[in-house]
Structure 1
Amino acid sequence: MALPSALPSLSSRAARCTAVLLAVALCTGASRLVRPPVQDAPMAHGPNQAGPNAAALDAVWAAEQEWLLSMRRGDTTALRRILSSDHIHVGTNGRLRHKSELLLALQRRQVRFLTYDVTSYDIRITGTAAIVSGTYHTQLERQGVREISQGRYLRVWLRDDGGWRLMAHQLTAGLVPRGRP
């Protein structure tokens, strides 16, 4: 099958790869190549079907769930184990807190989560690092004042001998369009 004449001359390797992918798509009748969607509405699920990364994806998702539960409960003992020793947290107000500062704020109930829900997520693993991004919705009490926050988050997990440890967490509050994770 000849490639469409509208394609420019293909001299680079990237251009040749693009042409091959386009040819495969045209030959198989596919109108477009599709990236798997971001997982919406997180819930308990069975074994991940992601091939060789399946076990790692499941382990990161389990660590995420343990972290969420610990944050909801204000369980600083569990968080001490989950957070890496050099953990940094950037809140919605841009404030940077290190592990000890975050744990102290939770322990003193300066920040208390009434709800903390992940509304969508995407996990990407490379070597011993995992990047988890998605959207969240939370109700919290900060210095005795109730707040509602929703937006996007980014967490970086590192795997060590003890399992996955949360190294960095950043929140960006804002309007999250419905149906657009």
Structure 2
Amino acid sequence: MAVSDEQAVRELEGRRFRAIMEGDLAAFRNLAHPDLTYTHSSGALDTLESFLEKCESAYFVYHRIDHVTGSATVVGDTAVVVGDMRVDMTAGGTRRELSNRSLGVWVRMEGKWRILAHQATAKR
């Protein structure tokens, strides 16, 4: 049985969070669109390269990421994934516990889904 686009994107969403958590930056890069926009709950913005540099330099250290995908909507070659995430991380030397809503935008590029945008919004 073929995997639906929605199922594929849900699986990829899980893979990207596992890659970040495990420090597998090559796997994350393989899932990312070259023009990735990564917006943090603080409002800080990263490109693919600046995000990877911060992970490589241990500016960002992820201790735990619990991510639950709520919805995944596919329209043509674009998918929007909404979820909830709890993150235990160190950013710039400060340990943080975050509770965020997340939005991921995936695009199909040359037959392969790539994460184009990530937006984290703090839950109040």
Shorter-chain TM range is over 0.9
1:165 partner letter: R
1:150 partner letter: S
- The one-character-per-residue Cα deviations of 1:134-180 (angstroms, maximum 9, x if unpaired) are 211110011222110002111100012251100000001123xxxxx
1:152 partner letter: R
8 Å Cα contact 2:69/2:81 also seen in 1: no
2:30 partner letter: R
Deviation, structure 1 residue 120: 4.5
2:59 partner letter: Q
1:79 partner letter: F
- Return the index of the structure with the highest Cα Rg: 1
| 2: CA distance, partners of 1:112 / 1:127 | 35
**Which of 154, 163, 168 does residue 117 from structure 2 map onto?**
168
1:78 partner letter: A
8 Å Cα contact 1:138/1:149 also seen in 2: yes
The two structures have a TM-score, normalised by structure 2, of 0.93
Q: How many aligned residue pairs are there?
A: 124
Unaligned runs of 5+ in 1: 1-46, 176-181
- The one-character-per-residue Cα deviations of 1:18-44 (angstroms, maximum 9, x if unpaired) are xxxxxxxxxxxxxxxxxxxxxxxxxxx
Cα-Cα RMSD: 1.7
| Bigger strand share | 2
2:30 alignment partner, SS class: helix
8 Å Cα contact 1:87/1:98 also seen in 2: yes
Following TM superposition, the consecutive aligned residue runs of length 4 or more in structure 1 with deviations greater than 6 angstroms are none
Cα distance change on mapping 1:151 and 1:129 into 2, 3 Å: same
| 2: CA distance, partners of 1:98 / 1:158 | 16
Q: Kindly indicate whether structure 1 or structure 2 has the higher relative contact order, using CA contacts under 8 Å at least 6 residues apart.
A: 2
8 Å Cα contact 1:157/1:167 also seen in 2: yes
| 1: CA distance, partners of 2:10 / 2:114 | 12
| 1: CA distance, partners of 2:45 / 2:91 | 16
The two structures have a TM-score, normalised by structure 1, of 0.65
